[in-house]
């Protein structure tokens, strides 16, 4: 089945580089750049820089966590970045410790609301955009005046229930589900990055699908020069991202022996945060594989190095069990890599199965192994898939195109306010 882009971009939409000015603040606790952050950090960097190129001056409000050794805020071209100090409540008393997440949410949310109110008075703030997770802007939504609130869901708190050891029915789990739902109900606009995420938000929070707009996340299109190194000397399958269960990394490990039977000299390379846990799983399932360099696990690397790794690998596999969008998959496609993603996830909006990549059922180790073998043993197929992938990302998911679509939404909200 051929999947069309989640957004129908009008002719010339990506060519408009200037926008009637308005003030926007992007809010989220995390802002770690240079490949060390998650999807929200990547999104805020990409969209802020794209908005700047359209004549806007966005601001970003994030939090400096305890133990963070940064002396200054991360630099995002064209954006003003403010990092709130972390003033988390901590207690060693067991009965009180269970209240820590709720108390810390209240402390942080009050500080966010006060900062945004002050910003609104000083600069005439027009738009506040924030993810759904942790409902950071809920208190601000209750007191805001003449400011439009846009929710860009990224990873609902219930998303990993049943996959990882989350406590869906704990008091804190129920509380945060309710807080996130309240923030969504108070939003002036809800924008999801994929149809899969839209359905997840609608079903999980009881939000009407008609209230949710689908616009993909903006993808960085790097300047592709000569490779700093040649391709890996052995047929190599690369995974990049969080090395956690919900990303399907264990399924990829489980597929190794089946792939090795079809491609004896194959190597798997994993790059991301969570090295210790994945290394323990590999040692348990495939004793000696790490020592023989059949499987390599690296810590997270700067984004410039990551783009090179995408290009050096023969195949990039992202077998997520659940995935709202899939930034690493999109970035690999952007540089012309042959990718494998998961059906029923945000990858379905990125990848046209069999044309610009491959899609397999989440958790289906045999299908994953067979698809990897097919890609590794057919160089012509890999090249064709990679070329189509790069074209698709440049055509439908570039930061400028996504920014153009989002600016239309922002402007329509401000027009209604007028």
Chain CA centroid to CA 37, Å? 9
- Of the pLDDT bands very low, low, confident and very high (cuts 50, 70, 90), residue 259 is very high
Burial 108-131 (b: 16+ CB within 10 A, else e): bbebbbebbbebbeeeebbbbbbb
Phi/psi at 354 (5° precision): 85, -5
Q: How confident is the model at residue 53 (pLDDT cuts 50, 70, 90)?
A: very high
Residues 390 and 257 in one domain: yes
Instruction: Determine, yes or no, domain membership for 16.
Output: no
Whether residues 150 and 214 share a domain: the answer is yes
- 392 shares its domain with 410: no
Same domain, 102 and 241: no
For residues 166 and 309, membership in a common domain is answered with: no
Report the SS3 class of residue 328.
helix
Residue 92, domain member (yes or no): yes
**330 belongs to a structural domain:** yes
Which range, of 2-16, 121-135, 355-369, 394-408, averages the lowest pLDDT? 2-16
Residue 229 maps to a domain: no
Share of the chain above pLDDT 90, in %: 68
Q: Which among 123, 150, 124, 121 is positioned nearest to 137, based on CA atoms?
A: 150
Tell me the C-alpha distance between 218 and 397, whole Å: 6
Would you say residue 54 lies in a domain?
Answer: yes
Same domain, 213 and 280: no
Q: Are residues 91 and 73 in the same domain?
A: yes
Handedness of CA 246, 154, 29, 211 (dihedral sign): negative
CB neighbourhood size of 221 (10 A): 17
Given a cut of 50, whether residue 9 has pLDDT beyond it is no
User: What is the pTM for the complete model shown?
Assistant: 0.89
Q: Domain for residue 187, yes or no?
A: yes
Whether residues 42 and 154 fall in one domain: yes
Looking at residue 1, what is its pLDDT?
37
User: Pick from 240, 330, 350, 288: which is nearest to 4 by CA?
Assistant: 350
E-strand spans in 260-396?
Answer: 267-271, 295-298, 315-317, 339-342, 358-360
Does residue 310 share a domain with residue 264? yes
Asked whether residue 4 carries a pLDDT value surpassing 60, the answer given is no
119: CATH: 3.40.50.2000
Residue pair 308/35 in contact (Cβ under 8 Å)? The answer is no
Structural domains of the chain, count: 2
Tell me, yes or no, whether 225 lies in a domain: no
What CA–CA distance (Å, rounded) separates 47 from 399?
Answer: 6
Q: Based on the fold, state whether residues 409 and 383 are members of the same structural domain.
A: no
389 plus 407 within the same structural domain = no
pLDDT per position as a tens digit, 17-26: 566 789 999 9
User: pLDDT for 263-320, tens place per residue?
Assistant: 999 999 999 999 999 999 999 999 999 999 999 999 999 888 899 999 999 999 999 9
SS3 235: coil
pLDDT at 342: 98
If asked whether residues 277 and 318 sit together in one domain, one would say yes
User: CA-CA distance, 412 to 417, in Å (whole number)?
Assistant: 9
| Mean pLDDT value across residues 130-138 | 91
Query: Would you say residue 228 lies in a domain?
Result: no
Which residues, listed in sequence order, are joined to residue 84 by a DSSP beta bridge?
A: 63
Residue ranges making up the domain that contains 32: 24-218+399-417
């Amino acid at each position: 089945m051929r999947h069309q882009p989640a957004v129908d971009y009008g002719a010339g939409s990506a060519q408009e580089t200037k926008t009637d000015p308005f003030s926007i603040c992007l809010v989220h606790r995390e802002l770690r750049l240079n490949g060390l952050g998650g999807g929200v950090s990547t999104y805020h960097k990409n969209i802020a820089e794209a908005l700047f190129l359209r004549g806007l001056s966005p601001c970003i409000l994030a939090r400096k966590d305890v133990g963070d050794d940064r002396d200054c805020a991360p630099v995002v071209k064209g954006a003003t970045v403010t990092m709130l100090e972390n003033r988390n409540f901590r207690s060693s008393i067991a009965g009180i410790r269970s209240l820590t997440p709720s108390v810390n949410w209240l402390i942080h949310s009050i500080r966010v609301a006060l900062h945004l109110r002050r910003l609104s008075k000083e600069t005439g703030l027009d738009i506040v955009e924030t993810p759904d997770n942790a409902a950071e802007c809920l208190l601000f939504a209750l007191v805001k005046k003449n400011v439009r609130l846009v929710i860009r869901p990224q990873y609902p708190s219930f998303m990993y229930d049943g996959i990882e050891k989350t406590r869906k029915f704990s008091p804190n789990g129920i509380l945060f589900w309710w807080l996130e739902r309240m923030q969504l109900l108070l939003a002036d606009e809800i924008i999801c990055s994929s149809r899969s995420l839209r359905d997840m938000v609608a079903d999980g929070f009881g939000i009407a699908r008609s209230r949710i707009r689908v616009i993909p996340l903006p993808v960085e299109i790097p300047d592709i020069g000569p490779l700093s190194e040649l391709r890996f000397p052995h047929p190599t399958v690369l995974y990049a991202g969080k090395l956690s269960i919900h990303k399907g990394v264990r399924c990829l490990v489980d597929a190794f022996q089946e792939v090795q039977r079809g491609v004896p000299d194959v190597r798997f390379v994993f790059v991301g945060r969570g090295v210790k846990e994945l290394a323990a799983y590999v040692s348990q399932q495939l004793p000696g594989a790490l020592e023989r360099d059949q499987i390599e696990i690296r810590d997270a690397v700067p984004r410039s190095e990551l783009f090179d790794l995408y290009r050096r690998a023969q195949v990039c596999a992202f077998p997520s069990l659940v995935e709202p969008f899939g930034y690493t998959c999109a970035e690999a496609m952007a540089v012309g890599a042959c990718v494998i993603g998961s059906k029923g996830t945000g990858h379905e909006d990125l990848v046209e199965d069999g044309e610009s990549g491959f899609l397999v059922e989440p958790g289906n180790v045999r299908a994953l192994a067979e698809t990897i073998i097919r890609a590794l043993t057919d160089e012509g197929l890999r090249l064709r898939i990679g070329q189509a992938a790069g074209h698709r990302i440049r055509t439908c998911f570039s930061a400028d195109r996504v920014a153009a679509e989002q600016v239309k939404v922002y402007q329509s909200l401000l027009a209604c306010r007028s």
